[in-house]
Chain A
């Protein structure tokens, strides 16, 4: 009789632990796999956690292992989806778009619509003009977008396809109406990362609407979030903050609706997004606030060149960060920060005061996009925690210097180090040789949690193995509270998990903490 049954169906979690499978797999290993003996494997496993290994690991010059970054067109799609009825169109090989759509859907648990120009070998030789001409016509007919935002894969970049002229030609050939909005951005995957692609596409869209227009200050404020896995929660929270302050603001690239559609019996491919007329009118704003300095540099420069004031933050989380964010809005708009927000601030401070004893002095490692880890590290130090290793695979030398300065400026950042351009295999060595209490990162951090045992607090992009966290903001006082709770939950769960042996450690298994 097999172990399988219908009373409690055994799936992969339990099925393969049944004796018949254990025996089968042992036999496969011994007779056919040709692996090394277990003791040799364990010896090497132990060696990978040594300082000697760390030195070898950090001596790497070419190999990248488990990086915490993706490529440009992913960010371009992210930015494009933030505009009203906009279809992202990626010029190049089609497999890329299949990957981008899957990647976003695995994080947001939502459909992600984007098209490819499906270039193949002939296009590699002759260029992809025909793909663009036919592709735009097909997209326009089938998906009835209001705007098509074109970016590129590395294939199109290597062969040197020129988007500007291709789009013009397509219009001349009647693929799409002459007046139809087709902003574009070249987004080579071999330059920067997904945040660079966001920057390029955001700049491309603004350029499309703004170039050649005269600016007349209308007193409004623009907001640019940057590439943000919490956009679904963050954008409405930012909108609420602006509303509470009575500030007339334009959220540029607000993709919080398209990745948050209801299950209502109907699929809506487009939802929400920055209205195209608002995107055009954003030229006339008094200033633009960028929530993530790193990954919006070119857009900032462009906005500045148009005569607007630019204020850039590094993903503010926590009391001081949010204070600065609100004060900047207030200064730019001339509107006072209302009592309602001050009360929220007080509640966040209250929550920190209630819980600080459990966080104070705890050591953290964190990784993610450069601005995000800066914001999180600042918050940790505000909580009295120590961000020992702060890593950004897509962090530049400039980021590394700024991040290090931020750490050095706080008593809680002493002995802490910023690591730009390193990957999660580097992080593994750091965690093994200079252990910390907790790790903050995206889903891939679970491999570090498994290998080293450092409990993982999932904050970042992508988070594919936990559901719905992206629905909650991490910005503003309310968002900061969410981050605090995420951190605390893991701290308390870890306390319980390490004190629950009856008669051995459970004296500390407290009912009140």
Chain B
């Protein structure tokens, strides 16, 4: 990027900082930067408490555990333990697709809550939790287990959900997982992911100790980790792995089951897509069971092909040939997508602000369509995310960590990208500004975006957003 852009971005950062009280400006300054090529990271601090009162986009640990890691496990009942709200607002809103008969053998789009009342706060909720579990067992007998997703009050009133869970697990002879993901823990969703991963370790993997899974192992068994099957992402990924000759024995956690989690230690390799939310459990399985793990990226044909080859390199010739066969099979589709959409999208600029893996992982997919990333940032990234980001972004890219709505609005106003990719809370702000927008958490109710099949949808959607006639109508002709 030109010096002009770099200077402008630096000035922009100074400009937004000047709006804050001095103390807050000092703190925010550490989270904003312009990427310098060759540096080992993006030069921003991350995973630090959000400032109060600034309109952070971040959520909480409960969102990270119930909403991300545990919620998609479809054959378990996940209790939003505490007051009614948390479960209500996160009810079926994340589009973790699954197959099953809801309310009978699958529960992913239901809201189970202990609906705390004042007396539960005063006298404690353990007895209620005990009863909640009995009632789940009576009314939903085909559940394969229960998780307790703690909301804020649980940790504050001194409830012992571990004891209740232990007792009930013995009583009903099913897996019951207490998760201490109270919303006030940590600084964002991120600690919730970690806590949820630890709960998987302690209450699922340790329990079966690698002895689950009734199938006969093959040398090609792998698990998909950190794919939440949003709009079917894990499915359009799985199909590629299977087509190249691997066998996917578990999906974590989109369209996943308890049995799949339990059987994962039989995998020869763990393939991790969302590093941020599930690296912990991969590291654990590596230490305890010696299972290697590998990060991949299934957004856009360049990264998909790179990933397929890198994965194949960890297996024998059969799989390596399989990878080449898959890449060749989809090449005509890739060519057709690029031929159709690149002429329309080439040279367009994008600003991203998302969570998890997306602030970097989707960059390649945009570049495959000839688009450029002008700015990106993580809601709840850590230092290692910003290191990894350097492999994706170009010199001069604006980097914003835990951006506030104020900053993002100012940045977008000044940079004037052709497309903004962020979340539901941002969508309408930028559309009001007359800017094409795509939700990059929920795929804006479309998807899948993973895999070759998903790339066609991604390209169509970005084109649809940018090429809509509506953006030409924001100003009245008489003005």
Contact = CB atoms under 8 A, between A and B. Distances in A.
Interface of A: 1-6, 9-12, 15-16, 20-21, 24-25, 28-29, 31-36, 40-42, 44-45, 48, 53, 56-57, 60-67, 69-74, 89, 92-96, 98-103, 105-106, 109-121, 123-124, 131-132, 134-139, 141-143, 153-155, 158-159, 188-191, 193, 261-268, 425, 428, 444, 447, 450-451
B186 interface: yes
B231 A190 contact: no
Contact of B132 (A62, A73, A98, A190): A62
Query: Ordered nearest first, which 9 A-B pairs have the shortest CB separation?
Result: A95-B60, A34-B259, A71-B85, A135-B52, A135-B53, A99-B89, A189-B83, A138-B53, A62-B131
Contact of A15 (B63, B405, B453): B453
B305 interface: no
B150 to A, nearest CB: 12
Contacts of A41: 101, 104-105, 142
Interface residues of B, number: 129
Interface string B33-61: 00000000000000001111111111111
B53 A74 contact: no
Contacts of B213: 32
Nearest to A101: B425
Contacts of B414: none
Contacts of A191: 117-118
B61 A95 contact: yes
Interface in B217-253: 231-232, 235-236, 238-239, 242, 248-251
B239 A134 contact: no
A93 B183 contact: yes
A11 B457 contact: yes
B77 to A, nearest CB: 9
B112 A64 contact: yes
B83 A190 contact: yes
Nearest to B52: A135
A118 B404 contact: no
A24 B239 contact: yes
Given A6-B456, A158-B121, A158-B157, A99 B53 contact: no
Contact of B110 (A66, A106, A116): A66
Contact of B184 (A105, A124, A136, A193): A124
8 contacts: A6-B336, A12-B231, A15-B453, A34-B258, A62-B131, A96-B86, A103-B89, A138-B20
Contact of B250 (A29, A32, A95, A266): A32
A287 B396 CA distance: 61
A188 B406 CA distance: 28
B114 A190 contact: no
Contacts of B116: 154, 189-190
Contact of A94 (B50, B84, B332, B336): B50
A158 B118 CA distance: 10
Nearest to B105: A41
Contacts of A48: 103-104, 139
B89 A94 contact: no
Contacts of A72: 85
Contact of B425 (A4, A15, A57, A98): A98
Given A70-B85, A105-B427, A154-B153, A56 B139 contact: yes
Contacts of B61: 95
B348 interface: no
B382 interface: no
Interface stretch (B3-11, B90-98, B271-279, B359-367): B90-98
B88 interface: yes
B322 interface: no
B75 to A, nearest CB: 7
Contacts of A2: 329-330, 333, 452-453
A100 B89 contact: yes
A44 B259 contact: no
Nearest to B257: A33
B392 interface: no
B329 to A, nearest CB: 7
Contacts of A102: 89, 93, 423-425
A89 B53 contact: yes
B474 A264 contact: yes
B478 interface: no
Interface stretch (B195-203, B292-300, B307-315, B431-439): B431-439
B188 to A, nearest CB: 8
A261 B152 contact: no
Highest count of chain B CB atoms <10 Å: which of A73, A103, A261: A103
Contacts of A93: 60, 152, 183-184
Given A32-B263, A63-B114, A117-B52, A15 B249 contact: no
Contact of A99 (B54, B85, B187): B85
Interface in B117-151: 117-118, 120-121, 128-129, 131-132, 135-136, 138-139, 141-142, 144, 151
Contacts of B457: 9-11, 15
B390 interface: no
A115 B103 CA distance: 36
Nearest to A144: B19
A121 B184 contact: yes
A73 B152 CA distance: 14
A65 B112 contact: yes
Nearest to A24: B239
Given A5-B333, A158-B152, A16 B433 contact: no
Contacts of B259: 32-35
A34 B232 contact: no
Contact of B52 (A60, A65, A118): A118
Contact of B428 (A53, A67, A105): A105
B59 A95 contact: yes
Contact of B54 (A5, A10, A53, A142): A142
B112 A6 contact: no
Contacts of A451: 102-103
Contacts of A6: 333, 336-337, 339-340, 456, 460
A163 to B, nearest CB: 14
B82 interface: yes
Nearest to A124: B184
B156 interface: yes
Highest count of chain B CB atoms <10 Å: which of A60, A94, A116, A189: A94
Highest count of chain A CB atoms <10 Å: which of B51, B118, B242, B340: B51
A1 B329 contact: yes
Contacts of B387: none
Highest count of chain B CB atoms <10 Å: which of A25, A32, A137: A32
A188 B55 CA distance: 21
A12 B452 CA distance: 14
B153 A158 contact: yes
A261 B329 CA distance: 48
B429 interface: yes
B477 interface: no
A2 B446 CA distance: 19
B82 A4 contact: no
Contact of B434 (A61, A263, A425): A263
Contact of A120 (B105, B114, B184, B448): B184
A64 B114 contact: yes
B183 A10 contact: no
Contacts of B333: 2, 4-6
Interface in B394-449: 404-406, 409, 423-434, 446-448
B320 interface: no
